[in-house]
Structure 1
Amino acid sequence: MKMLFNKKLRRYLLLLVVITVAVIEIPIVAVGYLTRPVPSDTIIVLGAKLIGTQPSTMLRLRLDEAIDLYNHGYAPTIIVSGAQGQDEITSEAEVMHAYLVAKGIPADKVFIENQSYNTYQNLLNSKKIMHEHGLRRAIIVSNASHIRRSLVLAQQLGIEASGAPAPMADSAYLTTKQYAREGAAMLSLLIFNK
C-alpha cells in the first residue's frame, strides 16, 4: 500500500513539474518568436558575457539585431547597457559601443550605460538615460529567450517598450541552457515580483 502511495505521489509531482514548466516556458518561447518591434525613440541593447574584449555569440547577435533596426529607421539612437563583470576586463557597454561604431553606427547616437549587473538594473538605468535625452519609447533587444522577462520588467518600470528578439545561438546546448535559465528567472519574477 505504501509503495502504491509513493508511486502515485511521484506521478503527481512529475505532472506538477511538467505543468509548471509548460506554463512558464511556453509564453517565453511564444513571446520570443512572435514579438515585433515598433518604431521608437531608442533601441536598448541588453548586455551579455564578453570573450576578452569581444562580444560573445549571444551579445553579437543582439548587437547585429540593433544595427539592423537602426539601419531600417526603427529608432535614431541606441542605448548599450551592461557593467564590467568580475571575469571581464572592461564593461559590456564599452565593448558594445565599440562594436556598433566599427559597424558604422555614429558614436554620438550610442549612449553608454555601464553600471548594470542584471536585467532589472539594465532597464532602470536605461530609463534614466531615456529621461535625460527626452526619449519616451524604446525597443528592447535581447535574445529570443530573454524578451518576455525584459518586457515584463520594462512594464513594471513604466517604460513604454516593444521587443526585438535577436536569434538564439546556433547550439542546442546553449539554447536549452538559456531557456532553462529564463524559466527559472521568470518563475522568480512572478513569485517575488522583481
Structure 2
Amino acid sequence: MTCGVFGLAWHVGRFGRREGAVPADVLVVLGARVLAGGVASGALQARVEKAVALYQQGLAPRLLFSGGIGLHPPSEAQVMRALAVRLGVPAEACLLEEQSHSTAQNARFSAEVLRRLGAGRVVVVSDAYHLLRARQYFRLQGWEVATSPAPLAGRLDAVDRFYWTVREAFALLAHPRVLLARSPLR
C-alpha cells in the first residue's frame, strides 16, 4: 500500500509540473481559500494570475471562476473575478460558478455553465499538486481537459508540497472511478 501511495504521489507531482495549456473554449480557475475581509489567499491569487496570463496570451476567450463561499465571504469566484478585472480582463469575459465546495463540485457545477456555452475543451488552472485530480473530475463530466499549474514558488516549501502531493494521492486512491477516468472521444 505504501509503495502505491508514494508511487501515485510521484505521478501526481510529475503531472502537475507540466504546462499543458492549449487553445480552449474556456479557462476554468479552481477556487482556494478567501481570507478575512475578502482577501485572496496566496493560492487563489497565484491561480488567477496564471489564468490571466493565459487569457492575455489568447488561449481562451473566457474565464470561469469556480468556488463558493468558504469561511469568509464573498465567494471564491467573486474574489477571483475582481482580481482578474484588476489585472485587465474585461468583466464580460468572466463567468462565475459560486456553489462548489470541493473539486468534484467544481467540475459538476462548472459543467452546467460550460454546457450552456457549448464549450468543448477547457484548460483547468490550479496548484500543481491538485491538477491530476481536477483533470480527472472534469473528464468524468465529459470534458476534454488540458491543465496549467499556478506557480508554487514562494508559497509552499518542500515539506508542504510533499504533504499536499501525498494528500492528493490518497484522495485519488479513495475514489478509483476518478483515478481511472478517460478523456471523452470527440
Output the CA distance in 2 between the equivalents of 1:162 and 1:178.
21
The 3 A distance-change label for structure 1 pair 192 and 113 is: closer
The question of whether the paired residues in 1 share the 8 Å contact of 2:172 and 2:178 is answered with no
| Identity value in percent | 31
TM-superposed CA distance for 1:138, in Å, is 0.5
The 3 A distance-change label for structure 1 pair 35 and 190 is: farther
1:157 to 141, 147, 160: 141
Give 3-state SS (helix, strand or coil) of 2:148's partner.
strand
Range that drifts further, 26-35 or 111-120: 26-35
Range that drifts further, 160-169 or 74-83: 160-169
Output the CA distance in 2 between the equivalents of 1:49 and 1:174.
16
Counterpart of 2:175 in structure 1 is: 189
| 1:66 to 2:55 alignment | no
Output the CA distance in 2 between the equivalents of 1:47 and 1:126.
12
TM-superposed CA distance for 1:161, in Å, is 1.1
The question of whether the paired residues in 1 share the 8 Å contact of 2:52 and 2:89 is answered with yes
| 1:100 to 2:81 alignment | no
Counterpart of 2:128 in structure 1 is: 144
Gaps of 5+ in 1: 1-15
Counterpart of 1:121 in structure 2 is: 105
The structure carrying a bigger helix percent of its residues is: 1
Output the CA distance in 2 between the equivalents of 1:174 and 1:192.
24
Output the CA distance in 2 between the equivalents of 1:164 and 1:172.
20
Gaps of 5+ in 2: 182-186
Output the CA distance in 2 between the equivalents of 1:191 and 1:153.
10
Output the CA distance in 2 between the equivalents of 1:192 and 1:40.
23
Output the CA distance in 2 between the equivalents of 1:35 and 1:152.
16
What count of residue pairs does the alignment treat as equivalent? Answer: 177
TM-superposed CA distance for 1:21, in Å, is 2.5
The 3 A distance-change label for structure 1 pair 192 and 155 is: closer
The question of whether the paired residues in 1 share the 8 Å contact of 2:140 and 2:178 is answered with no
Range that drifts further, 31-40 or 60-69: 31-40
The 3 A distance-change label for structure 1 pair 23 and 173 is: closer
Q: For residue 77 of structure 1, what is the amino acid of its counterpart?
A: R
- Cα RMSD of the aligned pairs, angstroms, is 1.7
TM-superposed CA distance for 1:46, in Å, is 0.3
Aligned residue runs from structure 1 range 162-173, under 5 A: 162-168=146-152, 169-173=155-159
Give 3-state SS (helix, strand or coil) of 1:94's partner.
helix
2:64 to 79, 85, 97: 79
Q: For residue 169 of structure 2, what is the amino acid of its counterpart?
A: G
